[in-house]
Structure 1
Amino acid sequence: MKKIELEEEDDLRPEYDFSQMKGGVRGKYVERYREGTNLVLLDPDIAVAFPDAKAVNDALRSLLQEKHSPQAR
């Protein structure tokens, strides 16, 4: 029985120069990955009211301040 030699396909482009890639550390961000994320998706009708993340954060901080401030009765 003949052995079939499989040709490895090299799908890396010739311009990739791995000799310049120094300082790589395996698992550098694994702890951050395990912690997960706090990403929150806004519904489209809400997202149009906020141009960026700062606007969302400012609105939420304002809401929290109102909630925790003493209310006149």
Structure 2
Amino acid sequence: MREEYDFSNAVKNPYVGKLKQQITIRLDEQVIDYFKKMSEETGMPYQNIINYYLLDCVKEKKHMEVAFAK
């Protein structure tokens, strides 16, 4: 390895998206288990899988219908 590198002609990576925001969210244990199992099957971190599912909801403008029993 060199002692110094010249980055004066470096180009910003066009594939890097926006930074993700860290939050705390409460999820049911069965939800976490479901995505962790999917993580084991795919080799992808379960938090990334959850993010992709939620991002798909945003892109498709999906809305959840909630009905409470009387």
RCO higher in 1 or 2 (8 Å CA, sep ≥ 6)? 2
Report TM bin, short chain: 0.3 to 0.5
